[in-house]
Structure 1
Amino acid sequence: MIREPAAFEALLERVRRFVRDIAIPAEARVEDGDEVPADIVATMREEGFFGWSIPEAYGGAGLTTEELVLAAFELSQCSVAFRARVGTNTGIGSEGIVADGTEQQKKAYLPRLASGEWTGCLAVTEPDAGSEASNVRTTARREGDHYVLDGEKCFITNAPVADVFTVTARTDPQSKGAAGVSAFIVERGSAGLATGAPYRKMGQAGSPVSAVYFNRCRVPAANLIGGREGAGFKTIMKVLNKQRIHLAALSTGPAIRMLDMAIRHTSSRVQFGEPVANYQLVQAMIADCRTEIFAAQSMILEAARKRDRGEDIALEASMCKYFATEMCGRVADRCVQMFGGAGYIADHSSIERWYRDVRLFRLYEGTSQIHQLNIARLLLRDVA
């Protein structure tokens, strides 16, 4: 649902201008320095990018799901690091509080996340709880007016720069499933909280990822999300259903950018006396790329509109995430192929960087295989 078309188009134009004039010229700088420069982060704060999906009552833009994915289509056409820097605030780092937080929690944290003063992140994945997200080993034990957390999280996006963490921990040690899992808000600086050194990664330079450690970490009982034990897994599923649509949208921008680069290259590269783009096998790859991008965007918009109507989108979220991220991987592979040897050499083209960057899309927020299982399970459940 687009509420005010003129105002929203102005927002999209600001995003396009940021991508064109600020982000793209800085991509090599981000790749070499492995961080988004502070001046660009400040610009994103000024533009309000951190608060897109946070309600207006708490200082955000309050974008609908449809508006959010349309904005994501644009912002994701620059290096992944830029949207990742704001993405945890507009998605997984704030959504648990937005969805299930108490009014006190919302007032305490959402304004800071919306302004970009604080960076949020979601700490769910553990060494033994990846695809099996309910297999949480981190524990939370009540001691008076605090909980004491012990455990380890891994592969946490923005953990090295985060100010506040949404964390899952097991409050019922007798329960081995989702029912015993609770969600907490943990601030940087809490005694017993530490983050590891940023991982060395295949791609996505400038997007810091690390482990998070809890060693008798004391968290106020008031920071139990929603004030109820045992509701954490349901909260995280709400977060992920929205985030999977958001991530699907963020997978289309790189595909658009890579295809544009490939079209320009094949139109100027001459072999056997003709531009490579004149050859039908190359044209077939171009056609397949654009068709799949259009299909992904259409799916995503339909799912977003359904969510805005208040309908259950668990099935659509998995289908969008699965299809869009796989689509982006196929586009990346075809575009490297269209560049030929130059597509493999960083000195010749940034297409090899994009190829590495987008590989992660098929792994986080649920692997492609997990989403295949989710889709089948939901369909078979309806039959049963």
Structure 2
Amino acid sequence: MNESFARFISQFKSRLFDLFHNESNINELSLERGLPQEMWKGIMDLKPLSVAVPTEFDGRGVKVEECLSILSAASYESLPLSLTFGINIALFLEPMARYGDEELKKVVFKRFIEEQAMGGLMITEPDYGSDALNMRTEYTQVADGYTLKGQKHWQGLTGMADFWIVAARKKLEGGDLARDVEFFVTDNGKAEQKIVVEKYFNNPGLYMIPYGLNNIDVTVPTNQKLILQSTGLKMMLDILHRSRLQFPGMGMGFIQRMLDESLKHCQNRKVGANPLTALDSVQYQLSRIQSSYTLTSGMCAKSTSISGVEFDLSGKGLEANSMKALVTDMMQEAAQICVQLAGSSGYKIEHIGGRGIMDSRPFQIFEGSNEMLYTQIAEIVLKHMRKSKETNFNKFLVQFEQTKLVADRFSKTLDFDLVADTLAQRQMVLIGQIVARLVCLQYVNEMVDKGFRQDLYDNCCKHMEMDVKRITSDLSSRNNAVPIVEYQEGSNWIDFI
């Protein structure tokens, strides 16, 4: 693993292209569940997951920039492949590197480097999705370890991963479960630790990745419990925030692919004597994707500096939620624009844009739905505003560390007061959307000082200013419409002609 990363990533990109375009057809592969075993072997022989293994275990050293680069290179060719790597890296290997027992690390990392093993994380349960603190999976300490019992679902790599990190709550003497959450590593290669798949789900996108319902009734030895550094809740936040801070890596390659495909099509497609790029509306749509490319570049740069395994990220909710929610919204928008610009050819499942719509859609839902994350962003900001005794949104943002470099651009639009007690949740979501844009735009601003292209930044600012004006308009309209559940009576149109 002493090979230079530039050479490593170059060979990885080249080999992926050959595998997906020359030796096989990615368009056909994308319509099948899973990948052929020889295809997986061709990919894993490149040791892409070595980027998330410490050097003392023959890995490349868990450097964030290398992890993000692998995710980006993979998502340029295949978003499901990138998510497969993302699950392994952010939800298994990095938690193992930070919290795993030293003897356990030797065994697990050796399997990843030498045997192409895979791992994932189990938190979500059938009756407790985002309400993770009320999960019912329980653990009991026994003489030589722990027994775990419960159900988990919608775990990426269901039935495919060799190792799992499983979240559970301690069963107390009275039968109740402890408030805190703890984490255990299971090895599917051992009968007493094997997690049984009850059924697989027919997910409409991300065909490469199996999802399903898992039944857990296992016993693991003592050293397969992750080592707490404070509380289980903080460990869970640290794991989830670190994962969300790596979403820009998956988004980077995907958005760049949408941009490259759209530019290529619009430059080559003629309307009369001119290419599509001569049309003003097309220029606007292309610049939207390019703006997303710019913002995601800033996110990747920032994530590299703050999300290493040496850091406790349990308190990085603003940064993590802003990146995850905004980049996944931009991924979906980029795919929609790519399809729109491609016309009828985009409406094919083998088209990269058409496929990208379905593959990127769940990114806005899993690891915290974006509405929930935007709400949490707003709550964080309002808490800071109360502490600083400032009610004016603009005055707060121009002195807030995470937005002060760019907030002046939005001073006229955001010059209004915010009173937390008067805000409905739908308004909190809008506030979160505004803040996320300013937070991530500041990441690009910081790159410009280091030589990043000024013209890309300037165009990005134009789109963010437009977005913030639109969202602020929605915020001030105070729409309080609610669904009418028993709506059928008196609403059949044919009765009124």
TM-score, structure 2 normalization? 0.70
Q: Does 1:21 align with 2:23?
A: no
Q: How does 1:24-103 map to 2 (within 5 A)?
A: 24-25=21-22, 26=24, 27-103=26-102
Match of 1:342 among 337, 345, 349: 345
After superposition, the Cα gap between the structure-2 partners of 1:311 and 1:37, relative to the gap in structure 1 and judged at 3 Å, is same
After superposition, the Cα gap between the structure-2 partners of 1:247 and 1:116, relative to the gap in structure 1 and judged at 3 Å, is farther
After superposition, the Cα gap between the structure-2 partners of 1:175 and 1:382, relative to the gap in structure 1 and judged at 3 Å, is farther
Equivalence for 1:223: 224
Q: Shift of residue 278 of structure 1?
A: 1.6
After superposition, the Cα gap between the structure-2 partners of 1:177 and 1:244, relative to the gap in structure 1 and judged at 3 Å, is farther
RMSD: 2.6
Q: Is the 8 A contact 1:266 1:275 kept in 2?
A: yes
Inter-partner Cα distance in structure 2 for 1:154 and 1:187 = 18
For 1:223-274, what per-residue CA distance to the aligned partner results, in whole angstroms no more than 9, with x for missing partners?
Answer: 2111x59943332222222211212220121111122222222222233443
Inter-partner Cα distance in structure 1 for 2:52 and 2:373 = 24
Q: Is the 8 A contact 1:134 1:178 kept in 2?
A: no
After superposition, the Cα gap between the structure-2 partners of 1:236 and 1:178, relative to the gap in structure 1 and judged at 3 Å, is farther
For 1:326-376, what per-residue CA distance to the aligned partner results, in whole angstroms no more than 9, with x for missing partners?
Answer: 1111111111111122222336x3321111111111111221112212322
After superposition, the Cα gap between the structure-2 partners of 1:233 and 1:114, relative to the gap in structure 1 and judged at 3 Å, is farther
After superposition, the Cα gap between the structure-2 partners of 1:162 and 1:307, relative to the gap in structure 1 and judged at 3 Å, is closer
Q: How does 1:170-319 map to 2 (within 5 A)?
A: 170-173=169-172, 179-188=179-188, 189-191=190-192, 193-215=195-217, 217-226=218-227, 231-308=231-308, 310=311, 312=313, 313-319=316-322
Inter-partner Cα distance in structure 2 for 1:93 and 1:243 = 10
The AA in structure 2 aligned to 1:8 is F
Inter-partner Cα distance in structure 2 for 1:175 and 1:324 = 42
Structure 1 residue matching 2:244: 3-state secondary structure: helix
Q: Shift of residue 116 of structure 1?
A: 4.9
Inter-partner Cα distance in structure 1 for 2:155 and 2:274 = 48
Q: Is the 8 A contact 2:87 2:119 kept in 1?
A: yes
Q: Shift of residue 172 of structure 1?
A: 4.4
For 1:112-148, what per-residue CA distance to the aligned partner results, in whole angstroms no more than 9, with x for missing partners?
Answer: 1344532111111111222222221111122322322
For 1:50-102, what per-residue CA distance to the aligned partner results, in whole angstroms no more than 9, with x for missing partners?
Answer: 22112111222114112322332222101123223333322212222211112
After superposition, the Cα gap between the structure-2 partners of 1:76 and 1:379, relative to the gap in structure 1 and judged at 3 Å, is same
Q: Shift of residue 179 of structure 1?
A: 4.2
Q: Is the 8 A contact 1:36 1:81 kept in 2?
A: no
Inter-partner Cα distance in structure 2 for 1:370 and 1:177 = 26
The AA in structure 1 aligned to 2:52 is S
Q: Does 1:359 align with 2:356?
A: no
- In structure 2, the gaps of 5 or more residues are 388-497
Structure 1 residue matching 2:34: 3-state secondary structure: coil
Equivalence for 2:125: 126
Of the structure 1 ranges 234-243 and 293-302, higher mean CA displacement relative to structure 2 is found in 234-243
Structure 2 residue matching 1:77: 3-state secondary structure: helix
Inter-partner Cα distance in structure 1 for 2:64 and 2:58 = 17
After superposition, the Cα gap between the structure-2 partners of 1:154 and 1:225, relative to the gap in structure 1 and judged at 3 Å, is same
Identity %: 22
Equivalence for 1:138: 137
After superposition, the Cα gap between the structure-2 partners of 1:345 and 1:290, relative to the gap in structure 1 and judged at 3 Å, is same
Equivalence for 1:332: 335
After superposition, the Cα gap between the structure-2 partners of 1:167 and 1:235, relative to the gap in structure 1 and judged at 3 Å, is same
The AA in structure 2 aligned to 1:250 is M
Structure 2 residue matching 1:160: 3-state secondary structure: coil
Q: Shift of residue 153 of structure 1?
A: 0.3
Inter-partner Cα distance in structure 2 for 1:28 and 1:381 = 48
Equivalence for 2:155: 156
Q: Is the 8 A contact 2:252 2:297 kept in 1?
A: yes
Inter-partner Cα distance in structure 2 for 1:367 and 1:178 = 26
After superposition, the Cα gap between the structure-2 partners of 1:239 and 1:47, relative to the gap in structure 1 and judged at 3 Å, is same
Q: Shift of residue 161 of structure 1?
A: 0.7
Inter-partner Cα distance in structure 1 for 2:221 and 2:58 = 24
The AA in structure 1 aligned to 2:209 is S
Alignment coverage as a number of residue pairs: 377
Q: Is the 8 A contact 1:122 1:156 kept in 2?
A: yes
The AA in structure 2 aligned to 1:14 is Q
The AA in structure 1 aligned to 2:291 is T
Q: Is the 8 A contact 2:171 2:177 kept in 1?
A: no
Q: Shift of residue 171 of structure 1?
A: 0.7
The AA in structure 2 aligned to 1:270 is K
The AA in structure 2 aligned to 1:291 is S
Q: Is the 8 A contact 1:179 1:231 kept in 2?
A: no
Of the structure 1 ranges 371-380 and 164-173, higher mean CA displacement relative to structure 2 is found in 371-380
The AA in structure 2 aligned to 1:166 is I
Inter-partner Cα distance in structure 2 for 1:311 and 1:96 = 11
For 1:207-234, what per-residue CA distance to the aligned partner results, in whole angstroms no more than 9, with x for missing partners?
Answer: 111221113x2222332111x5994333
Inter-partner Cα distance in structure 1 for 2:38 and 2:361 = 28
Inter-partner Cα distance in structure 1 for 2:85 and 2:333 = 26
Match of 2:372 among 370, 373, 379: 370
Inter-partner Cα distance in structure 2 for 1:194 and 1:310 = 34
The AA in structure 2 aligned to 1:207 is I
Of the structure 1 ranges 62-71 and 206-215, higher mean CA displacement relative to structure 2 is found in 62-71
- In structure 1, the gaps of 5 or more residues are none
Of the structure 1 ranges 362-371 and 105-114, higher mean CA displacement relative to structure 2 is found in 105-114
After superposition, the Cα gap between the structure-2 partners of 1:56 and 1:150, relative to the gap in structure 1 and judged at 3 Å, is same
After superposition, the Cα gap between the structure-2 partners of 1:365 and 1:314, relative to the gap in structure 1 and judged at 3 Å, is same
After superposition, the Cα gap between the structure-2 partners of 1:287 and 1:182, relative to the gap in structure 1 and judged at 3 Å, is same
